[in-house]
């Protein structure tokens, strides 16, 4: 068995092949007649197969050579089998390294994975056709499936394929039996790696698990869901800049960014269109930063600002860094959940119990139940009161309806020259963070004792 | 957050191993059970029980599939075209290229908008990732990745960082700064590690988490700070080419599309595949959620775009024409969801009426394949990136 010298496998579209360079060096060493794994001739059925090694020896050799634990060696050995460098003789479909007397052989370098020729469908078709001839139509079920598929889409080439297959079959018959068996084993192993049996039982099981839960999942009538789409489109028609020209003008067309300035988060009076959008749903209201500011103002008047604060804190925990979770959960518990907390939220006993229990070992989704409860409370109750409140009604009256821009050609050219660079989002983010920090300080409960100590409450 | 998610237990002790983990809602026959993802895998890989064979399992699949089809058919009482008759007809649309962003030296593969509605990040085949202020067409930041074919890029919600990746199998995050002489490459942070190329990435609702999809057939959710894998999503049998996060109030699901012609909907918390659609005839190149979060559209190599209804669990519309023979590479909805913009491999962009199923406009201008297309966050314009090295803003 000649072992070819290693070539340089450059990085191309499948970069993981480059790492196999090291694996190949390793495999070459494994096959060294003096210092490699000891192989012997083995009788299999009627034929004697040369150079057979067993799983135990392979494992022991890897442990010694790489100086690793048995588990690591086991994992690496299984990789060698999975990639096709070593193939099992008996249970040829299970590509794992079993550390006992299970028999393996080294795959000929011709069939190593990094050889540049891809496992062509046409070669596979010839292989299957030849197998078909030999086994007289008794292919394994997954092979039969592949064969049928290939026959369907390679139909025009089929005569050629059968011809090649018959030629190879005849040539094979000339060979000596042991050589034939070895070659057959090698080829079969190669195709197991490159055309693995598609439908094993665990794939089918997974499909069944998926289908069972899909059946139990409730679905909605088409008439209901499709009507909802039409409703969504209709209600949002006026807000879609492609369908209704935005006022004062689309910044991309007139090069004036007034549209963005009028709809920014920190603007005093919002536009009428924005306010109309807030009415559409609670989610639209709090997704618009300006809308959220208005809603928080209303909550403060109702003395239920802790609901929104809890919602925001829970969102932060959910989407935040993993390392911040224990600290945040502690803060949220102390501020919102523990009995006598300064900003105690009003949720039902069962949810509170579940949440507090979960907080013992905090996980990012531990506040989900409480957060959903508060969100639904705000959505179904507070939102409607907000819509009827003087805060909102006042805003509706004061909302601006900017006049549409009418630019002359000269003005348009001037706009192009004077495009506003705007504020960098990084600066804006820093500003927002500072505002948040200030708001957090302001929301902290007043410590009466500290105030007395510093004489601030002293009235004179 | 609809009432359904409130009732479902998503985190707690697993029924099988009693560990506190995010739970999948599964059923054995009709009995609901809550298993963590590991126990579900163990259950699937259990050896065949007595009396079970591969054949009997396959037969069970067939019966379940037929039953599911029947159930879905009962709910299929009207077509979208019928319901869309109530919608008024669209007026004339007059869209033109308003900006052309030139600066990439090679094919533009991906782009994303910043939440400030005017900045864009784009990545190209030669490894360059550029942050533009599309309104003034100025380049603000640029970094050269050590890999070519940067197939995915994303802008962080805060506007302070970008993420990108491609053939290096990794997703790296670069924090942006206001320094004139910043060295972006020095501050690079490797977050995601896959075993094959990165095809898509997006930040979730904050800068701290990234969702990625890869050619190795999996998608994964990562913690940016520690690089820790938070959840992985297995189920595609070939490369995952695209993903999109749900815009709804729940924000708990995302959809992914792959070379196995399937589009799968996943629960972010438990890793469970909750819905699957496999009506496409070829690779799905792009998936995008409808603005309300109740549907999504897909673009595929079979030259069609399709709309899938998540609540009724079926495909409701196909956007195709005999004259369109080249694959669609990218799609996005306008703000109201009435228009669907799709970029194709025949260098054009087609604009479809989502409700009526007709094409309302065809836009020419690019000199090579349109590889990515996204509508700006406030819907005032959309940007298309192409293999002709440029990006165009249309309004």
Q: Could you tell me if residue B54 is left (phi over 0), alpha (psi between -120 and 50 degrees) or otherwise beta?
A: alpha
CA distance B165 to B196: 11
Give chain A's mean pLDDT.
82
Taking CB atoms and an 8 Å limit, are A240 and B118 in contact across chains?
no
Residue from B289, B209, B295 nearest B247 by CA: B289
CA distance B61 to B58: 5
Contact status, residue B304 vs residue B320, Cβ threshold 8 Å: yes
DSSP code, position A400 = B
Phi, psi of A217 (to 5 degrees): -75, 130
Cβ of residue B87 closer than 8 Å to a chain A Cβ: yes
Lowest mean pLDDT among A59-73, A137-151, A276-290, B274-288: A137-151
Which of A 333-392 lie inside 8 A of B, CB atoms? 358, 361, 363, 365-366, 368-369, 371-373, 375-376, 379
Which ipTM did the prediction report?
A: 0.91
Phi, psi of A287 (to 5 degrees): -75, -30
pLDDT above 60 (res A220): yes
CA distance A174 to A367: 73
Element holding B277 (H helix, E strand): strand B273-277
Determine the distance in angstroms separating the CA of B321 from the nearest CA of chain A, rounded to an integer: 23
**Percent of chain A surpassing pLDDT 70:** 89
Q: How many helices (H) and strands (E) does chain B have?
A: 4, 31
Q: What is the pLDDT of residues B173-220, one digit of tens each?
A: 999 988 877 788 888 999 999 989 999 999 998 899 999 999 999 999
Determine the distance in angstroms separating the CA of A206 from the nearest CA of chain B, rounded to an integer: 6
Residue in chain B lying closest to A319 (CA): B206
Q: How confident is the model at residue A3, as a pLDDT?
A: 37
* B57 vs A208, A219, A427: nearest CB: A208
Contact status, residue B24 vs residue B271, Cβ threshold 8 Å: yes
Mean pLDDT of B345-369: 93
Cβ of residue B66 closer than 8 Å to a chain A Cβ: no
Give chain B's mean pLDDT.
90
Cβ of residue A225 closer than 8 Å to a chain B Cβ: yes
What are the b/e assignments for A35-44, b being 16+ CB within 10 Å?
ebbebeebee
Contact status, residue B116 vs residue A422, Cβ threshold 8 Å: yes
Cβ of residue A35 closer than 8 Å to a chain B Cβ: no
Q: What is the pLDDT of residues B295-316, one digit of tens each?
A: 999 999 999 999 999 999 999 9
Residue from A371, A376, A379, A377 nearest A354 by CA: A371
Across A171-269, the runs of DSSP E, i.e. the strands, are: none
Determine the distance in angstroms separating the CA of B198 from the nearest CA of chain A, rounded to an integer: 12
Contact status, residue B289 vs residue A197, Cβ threshold 8 Å: no
Mean pLDDT of A135-160: 77
Q: What is the pLDDT of residues A348-401, one digit of tens each?
A: 888 888 888 888 888 888 888 898 899 999 999 999 999 999 888 988 898 888
Contact status, residue B115 vs residue B202, Cβ threshold 8 Å: no
In B, which residues are within 8 Å of A375 by CB distance? 1, 249
Q: What's the pLDDT band for A449 if we cut at 50, 70, 90? A: low
Cβ of residue B367 closer than 8 Å to a chain A Cβ: no
Phi, psi of B3 (to 5 degrees): -60, -30
In B, which residues are within 8 Å of A427 by CB distance? 178
Measure CA of the first residue to CA of the last residue in chain B; give whole Å. 34
Alpha-helical (H) ranges within A67-120 are 70-83
Q: How confident is the model at residue B4, as a pLDDT?
A: 39
Contact status, residue A233 vs residue B355, Cβ threshold 8 Å: yes
In B, which residues are within 8 Å of A250 by CB distance? 380-381, 395
A vs B: CB pairs below 8 A: 280
Q: How confident is the model at residue A19, as a pLDDT?
A: 60
Q: What's the pLDDT band for A233 if we cut at 50, 70, 90? A: very high
pLDDT above 90 (res B32): no
Q: Which of B13, B119, B338 to mutate to test the interface with A (most CBs of A within 10 A)?
A: B338
Q: How confident is the model at residue A89, as a pLDDT?
A: 84
Phi, psi of B196 (to 5 degrees): -155, 180
Determine the distance in angstroms separating the CA of A365 from the nearest CA of chain B, rounded to an integer: 7
Taking CB atoms and an 8 Å limit, are B20 and A230 in contact across chains?
no
* A368 vs B11, B77, B228: nearest CB: B11
Residue in chain B lying closest to A211 (CA): B64
Cβ of residue B322 closer than 8 Å to a chain A Cβ: no
In A, which residues are within 8 Å of B151 by CB distance? none
pLDDT above 50 (res A446): yes
Which of A 283-342 lie inside 8 A of B, CB atoms? 283, 315-316, 318-323
Cβ of residue B248 closer than 8 Å to a chain A Cβ: yes
* B225 vs A225, A315, A321: nearest CB: A321
CA distance A156 to A264: 64
Which of B 142-181 lie inside 8 A of A, CB atoms? 158-160, 167-169, 176-178
Taking CB atoms and an 8 Å limit, are B334 and A242 in contact across chains?
yes
For A75, the 3-state DSSP assignment is: helix
Mean pLDDT of A238-257: 91
Which of A 125-154 lie inside 8 A of B, CB atoms? 141
Cβ of residue B65 closer than 8 Å to a chain A Cβ: yes
In B, which residues are within 8 Å of A358 by CB distance? 11-12, 20
Radius of gyration of chain B (CA): 22
For residues A367 and B338, which has the higher predicted lDDT (pLDDT)? B338
Q: How confident is the model at residue A10, as a pLDDT?
A: 32
Taking CB atoms and an 8 Å limit, are A321 and B334 in contact across chains?
no
Q: How confident is the model at residue A2, as a pLDDT?
A: 30
pLDDT above 50 (res B228): yes
Residue in chain B lying closest to A255 (CA): B135
Centre a 10 Å sphere on the Cβ of residue B323 and count the other Cβ atoms it contains.
9
CA distance B286 to A209: 27
Taking CB atoms and an 8 Å limit, are B80 and A368 in contact across chains?
no
Centre a 10 Å sphere on the Cβ of residue A285 and count the other Cβ atoms it contains.
23
Q: Convert B77-142 into a string of H (helix), E (strand) and C (coil).
A: CCCHHHHHCCCCCCCCCCCCEEEEEECCCCCEEEEEECCCCCEEEEEECCCEEEEEECCCCEEEEE
pLDDT above 90 (res A83): no
Q: How confident is the model at residue A17, as a pLDDT?
A: 53
For B22, the 3-state DSSP assignment is: strand
> What's the helix, strand, coil split of chain B in %, to 5?
10, 45, 45
Residue in chain A lying closest to B228 (CA): A322
Cβ of residue A226 closer than 8 Å to a chain B Cβ: yes
Cα–Cα distance list, B13 to A314, A318, A358 (Å):
21, 19, 10
Q: How confident is the model at residue B248, as a pLDDT?
A: 67
Residue in chain B lying closest to A223 (CA): B78
Mean pLDDT of B46-60: 80
Pairing outcome for strands B314-319 and B305-309: antiparallel
Residue in chain A lying closest to B277 (CA): A214
In A, which residues are within 8 Å of B204 by CB distance? 319
pLDDT above 50 (res B163): yes
For A99, the 3-state DSSP assignment is: coil
* B335 vs A222, A241, A252: nearest CB: A241
In B, which residues are within 8 Å of A224 by CB distance? 311-312
Please spell the DSSP secondary structure of A285-335, one letter per residue.
Answer: HHHSHHHHHHHHHHHHHHT-HHHHHHHHHHHHHHHS-GGGHHHHHHHHIII
* B312 vs A199, A222, A427: nearest CB: A222
Element holding B165 (H helix, E strand): strand B161-165
In B, which residues are within 8 Å of A323 by CB distance? 225-226
Cβ of residue B54 closer than 8 Å to a chain A Cβ: yes
For B36, the 3-state DSSP assignment is: strand
Taking CB atoms and an 8 Å limit, are B380 and A228 in contact across chains?
no
pLDDT above 80 (res A119): no
Pairing outcome for strands B198-203 and B209-214: antiparallel
Q: How confident is the model at residue A12, as a pLDDT?
A: 33
Q: What is the pLDDT of residues A299-328, one digit of tens each?
A: 988 888 889 999 999 999 989 888 989 999
Q: How many helices (H) and strands (E) does chain A have?
A: 23, 4
Cα–Cα distance list, B395 to A179, A241, A246, A314 (Å):
70, 9, 11, 38
Contact status, residue A409 vs residue A254, Cβ threshold 8 Å: no
Which of B 272-291 lie inside 8 A of A, CB atoms? 272-276, 290-291
Determine the distance in angstroms separating the CA of B324 from the nearest CA of chain A, rounded to an integer: 24
CA distance A102 to A7: 32
In A, which residues are within 8 Å of B311 by CB distance? 219-220, 224-225, 228
Residue from A407, A396, A416, A404 nearest A244 by CA: A404
Taking CB atoms and an 8 Å limit, are A220 and B75 in contact across chains?
yes
Cα–Cα distance list, A349 to A311, A312, A346, A363, B387 (Å):
18, 22, 9, 21, 59
pLDDT above 90 (res B95): yes
Contact status, residue A55 vs residue A102, Cβ threshold 8 Å: yes
Contact status, residue A6 vs residue A20, Cβ threshold 8 Å: no
Contact status, residue B266 vs residue B226, Cβ threshold 8 Å: no
Contact status, residue B151 vs residue B123, Cβ threshold 8 Å: yes
């Amino acid at each position: 068995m000649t072992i070819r010298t290693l070539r340089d496998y450059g990085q191309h579209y499948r970069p993981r092949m480059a790492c196999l360079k090291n694996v190949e060096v390793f495999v070459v060493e494994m096959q060294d007649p003096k210092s490699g794994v000891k192989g012997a001739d083995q009788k299999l059925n009627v034929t004697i197969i040369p150079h057979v090694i067993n799983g135990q020896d392979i494992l022991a050799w890897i442990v010694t050579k790489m100086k690793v634990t048995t588990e690591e060696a086991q994992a690496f050995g299984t990789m060698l089998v999975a990639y096709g460098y070593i193939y099992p003789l008996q249970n040829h479909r299970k590509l794992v390294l079993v550390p006992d007397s299970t028999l393996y052989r080294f795959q000929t370098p011709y069939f190593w994975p990094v050889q540049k020729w891809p496992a062509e469908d046409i070669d596979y078709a010839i292989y299957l056709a030849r197998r078909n001839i030999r086994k007289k139509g008794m292919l394994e079920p997954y092979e039969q499936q592949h064969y049928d598929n290939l026959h369907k889409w390679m139909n025009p080439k089929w005569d050629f394929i059968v011809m090649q297959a018959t030629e190879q079959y005849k040539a094979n018959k000339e060979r000596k039996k042991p050589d034939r068996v070895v070659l057959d084993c090698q080829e079969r192993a190669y195709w197991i790696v490159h055309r693995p049996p598609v439908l094993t039982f665990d794939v089918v099981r997974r499909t069944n698990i998926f289908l069972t839960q899909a059946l139990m999942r409730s679905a909605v009538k088409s008439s209901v869901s499709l009507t909802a789409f039409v409703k969504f489109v209709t209600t949002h028609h006026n807000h879609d800049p492609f369908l209704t020209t935005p006022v004062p003008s689309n910044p991309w067309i007139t090069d004036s960014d007034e549209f963005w300035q009028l709809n920014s988060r920190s603007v005093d009076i919002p536009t009428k269109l924005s306010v109309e959008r807030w009415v559409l749903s609670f989610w639209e209201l709090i997704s618009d930063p300006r809308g959220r500011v208005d809603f928080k103002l209303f909550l403060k008047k109702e003395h239920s600002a802790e609901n929104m604060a809890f919602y925001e804190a829970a969102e932060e925990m959910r989407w935040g860094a993993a390392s911040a979770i224990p600290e945040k959960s502690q803060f949220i518990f102390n501020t919102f959940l523990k009995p006598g907390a300064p900003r105690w939220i009003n949720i039902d006993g069962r949810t509170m119990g579940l949440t507090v229990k979960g907080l013992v070992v905090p996980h990012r989704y531990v506040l989900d139940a409480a957060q959903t409860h508060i969100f639904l409370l705000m959505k179904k109750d507070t939102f409607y009161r907000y819509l009827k409140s003087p805060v909102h009604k006042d805003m509706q009256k004061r909302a601006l309806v900017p006049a549409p821009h009418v630019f002359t050609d000269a003005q348009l050219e001037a706009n192009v020259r004077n495009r506003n660079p705007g504020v960098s989002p990084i600066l804006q983010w820093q500003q927002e963070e500072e505002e948040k920090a200030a708001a957090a300080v302001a929301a902290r409960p007043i410590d009466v004792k500290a105030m007395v100590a510093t004489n601030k409450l002293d009235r004179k | 957050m609809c009432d359904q998610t409130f009732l479902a237990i998503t985190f707690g002790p697993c029924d099988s191993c009693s560990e506190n983990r995010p739970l999948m809602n599964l059923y054995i026959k009709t009995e609901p059970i809550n298993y963590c993802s590991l126990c579900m895998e163990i259950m699937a890989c259990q050896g065949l029980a007595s009396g079970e064979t591969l054949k009997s399992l396959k037969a069970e699949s067939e019966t379940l599939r037929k039953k599911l089809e029947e159930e879905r058919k009962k709910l299929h009482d009207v077509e979208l075209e019928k319901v869309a008759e109530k919608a008024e007809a669209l007026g004339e649309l007059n869209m033109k290229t308003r900006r052309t962003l030139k600066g990439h030296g090679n094919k533009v593969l991906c782009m994303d908008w910043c939440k400030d509605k005017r900045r864009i990040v784009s990545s190209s085949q030669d490894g360059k990732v550029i942050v533009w202020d599309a309104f003034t067409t100025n380049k603000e930041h640029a970094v050269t990745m050590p890999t070519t074919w940067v197939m995915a890029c994303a802008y962080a919600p805060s506007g302070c960082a970008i993420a990108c990746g491609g053939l290096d199998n990794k997703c790296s995050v670069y924090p942006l700064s206001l320094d004139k002489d910043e060295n972006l490459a020095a501050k690079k942070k490797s977050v995601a590690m896959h075993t094959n190329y990165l095809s898509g990435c997006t930040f979730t609702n904050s800068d701290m988490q990234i969702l990625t999809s890869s050619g190795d057939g999996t998608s994964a959710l990562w913690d940016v700070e520690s690089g820790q894998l938070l959840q992985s999503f297995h189920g595609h049998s070939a490369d995952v080419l695209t993903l999109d996060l749900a815009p709804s109030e729940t924000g708990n699901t995302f959809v992914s599309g792959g070379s196995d012609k399937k589009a799968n909907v996943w629960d972010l918390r438990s890793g469970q595949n909750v819905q699957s659609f496999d009506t496409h005839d070829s690779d799905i190149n792009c998936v995008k959620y409808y603005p309300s979060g109740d549907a999504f559209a897909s673009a595929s190599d079979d030259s069609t775009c399709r709309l899938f209804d998540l609540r009724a669990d079926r495909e409701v519309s196909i956007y195709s024409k005999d004259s369109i023979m080249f694959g669609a590479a990218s799609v996005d909805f306008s703000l109201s969801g009435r228009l669907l913009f799709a970029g194709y491999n025949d260098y054009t962009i087609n604009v479809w009426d989502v409700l009526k199923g007709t094409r309302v406009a065809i836009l020419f201008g690019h000199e090579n394949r349109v590889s990515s297309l996204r509508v700006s966050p406030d819907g005032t314009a959309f940007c298309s990136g192409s293999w002709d090295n440029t990006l165009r803003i249309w309004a």
